[in-house]
Structure 1
Amino acid sequence: MPSKSPAQTLLERADKKANSSTGWFSSTSTKFEEAGDLYQQAANAFKLEKQFREAGDAYAREAECREKCKEINEAANAWWNAAKAYKRGHPDLAVQALGQTVTHLTSSGRFRQAADREKEIAQIYQHELSDLRRACDSLERAADWYAQEDATATANACFKDAADLHAELEEYPAAIQRYEQVADQSLTSALTKYSVKDYWLKACLCALAMKDSITAKRNIQKYMAQDPTFASTRECKFVNAIIDAIQADDQQAFTGCVVEYDQVTKLDNWKTSILLKIKRTIESEPTIL
């Protein structure tokens, strides 16, 4: 019979302690504190053995013991450790553990840390579980908490990422609203003002993906009123050129504008994808003979 690993031995000791009846001289909370310490040791030993699922489970058991002792900060930390272990191959369990962490952090008023964990949840939903809708919700929740903790730059980065996802989900009005919100915030600082033209470009592309070149044109006027230098930017000239091509129902001119822009400012995946969607709206327009 194979001998038990050190981690397995510690886990059994932890289980035994957690399930033991309390004697005359020890309280229930002491029992769970000791069991929690043993679960933590077992979890660390499982990590050494690269058994990440087992490590996550042991941290989760530790967290439950901490909760029974009303040690909220320790419970939040144990759930976070569980999430980090679960991230190695069990993203759905990582999300659940992070959710528990967030609940403890918000209940004790630690919104900045809660926002960090909520952002982690968003990244798992986006990159591991391919659930853009939930990723978007988590990013916006994190952004709200960052904003109320005066972490404005981090809040804006989350709102901008949420806007990108809204656009991927073809929720264009929500995307436009978020891009404009981040642009308004960015205009207030010399450090972030340079990025505004990109947010406005993205907002205009969202309007064009909705086949609404009138709104796109009206928004350009609004943006130029907010920042007169916008009119002279490559981004503004590019949007005006592709609007002209769309209104002329001229696919070739549209493609020419995109190629020309891309030669100077490389288009990222997001812009390439939305420009293809816009191009299809030109193709699907009936041609009148």
Structure 2
Amino acid sequence: MPAKSPAQVLLEKADKKANSSTGWFSSASTKFEEAGDLYQQAANNFKIEKLFKEAGDTFAREAECREKCNEANEAGNAWWNAAKAYKKTHPDLAIQALTQTITHLTKLGRFRQAADREKEIGQIYLQEFHDLGKACDSFVQAGDWYAQEDAAATANACYKEAADLLADLGQYIQAIARYEHVADHSLTSALTKYSVKEYWLRAGLCALALNDVVTVRRNMTKYGSQDTTFPSTREAKFVNALAEAVEAADAEMFTGAVVEFDSVTKLDNWKTSILLKIKREIEQPSGESAWGGLT
């Protein structure tokens, strides 16, 4: 028989301790504290051996011991360690462990850290499962917790991420509301005021994706009243030029506006995607792409 690894030896000791009967001179709490310590050591040894699923499972057992001792802080840390191990190979289990972590953090009133973990969940849903809806929900929840902890810039980054995802899902009205919410908050600080033109540009593109030129024009007027410098920006002029093209159903005019804007400010993937959606509404019957080989 092959020799047992250090991790396996420690795991067996931890199991034995957790399942042992409580003697005259020890309490159940002490038993689970000691078992928890052994599980933690075993889990770290599994990580050394690059056995990440086993490490995650063992950190989870540590967390359960900590919970039995009413050690909420240590239990939350153990669940987070489990999540970090699971992320390597089992993102679904990482989400479950992070959810447990968040439960402990919110009970302890540590909402800033809960927001960090919720944002992690959003990133896993997005990158590993391509589940835009669940990712969006997590970013909104994280944003709400950051906002209540006065971390406005981090909250806005989460809300903006959620708005982008809402637009990707075709939920343009909700996306516009999110972008406007972020812009409103950004206007309150000299440090973030410069970024509102980007949020309003994205909101304008969402309104164009709804093929609703009336709303586009009304919103652009509203944005101009909130920040009098906005109408003279390249972003505002771009949205207005696109609105004219959509209203005239003029694909050539639309393409010209896109190429001109892109020549100075390179379009990112999100803008390229939504512009193509808008473009298809006024595209030539041939279905050919109207700019830069994009289809």
Q: Deviations over 1:88-113 (max 9, x none)?
A: 01100000000000000001111111
Matched, 1:180 2:180: yes
TM-score (norm 2): 0.95
Give the unaligned 5+ runs of structure 2: 286-295
CA distance in 2, matches of 1:21, 1:185: 58
CA distance in 1, matches of 2:90, 2:49: 17
RMSD across aligned positions (CA): 1.0
Return the offset for 1:284. 8.6
Return the offset for 1:180. 0.3
SS in 1 for 2:282: helix
CA distance in 2, matches of 1:170, 1:141: 20
Q: Deviations over 1:106-146 (max 9, x none)?
A: 01111111011101111101111111101100111111111
CA distance in 1, matches of 2:8, 2:141: 39
Matched, 1:35 2:35: yes
Aligned length: 285
SS in 2 for 1:283: coil
Return the offset for 1:260. 1.0
Matched, 1:152 2:152: yes
Within a 5 Å distance, the mapping from 1:20-99 to structure 2 comes to 20-99=20-99
Return the offset for 1:189. 1.1
CA distance in 1, matches of 2:60, 2:281: 51
CA distance in 2, matches of 1:32, 1:214: 65
Q: Deviations over 1:32-65 (max 9, x none)?
A: 0000000000000000001000000000000000
Return the offset for 1:283. 3.0
2:100: which partner in 1?
A: 100
Within a 5 Å distance, the mapping from 1:202-221 to structure 2 comes to 202-221=202-221
CA distance in 1, matches of 2:247, 2:213: 8
- Which residue identity does 2:89 align to in structure 1? G
2:247: which partner in 1?
A: 247
* Change in 2 beyond 3 A, CA 1:269/1:81: same
Return the offset for 1:253. 1.1
Give the unaligned 5+ runs of structure 1: none
CA distance in 2, matches of 1:34, 1:101: 21
- Which residue identity does 2:105 align to in structure 1? L
CA distance in 2, matches of 1:136, 1:176: 14
2:118: which partner in 1?
A: 118
- Which residue identity does 1:70 align to in structure 2? N
CA distance in 1, matches of 2:67, 2:94: 19
* Change in 2 beyond 3 A, CA 1:33/1:284: farther
CA distance in 1, matches of 2:8, 2:241: 67
Within a 5 Å distance, the mapping from 1:160-239 to structure 2 comes to 160-239=160-239
SS in 2 for 1:254: helix
- Which residue identity does 1:241 align to in structure 2? A
SS in 2 for 1:236: helix
CA distance in 2, matches of 1:190, 1:108: 34
Sequence identity percentage: 74
SS in 2 for 1:4: coil
Matched, 1:272 2:272: yes
CA distance in 2, matches of 1:86, 1:255: 46
CA distance in 2, matches of 1:213, 1:61: 57
TM-score (norm 1): 0.97
Return the offset for 1:190. 1.1
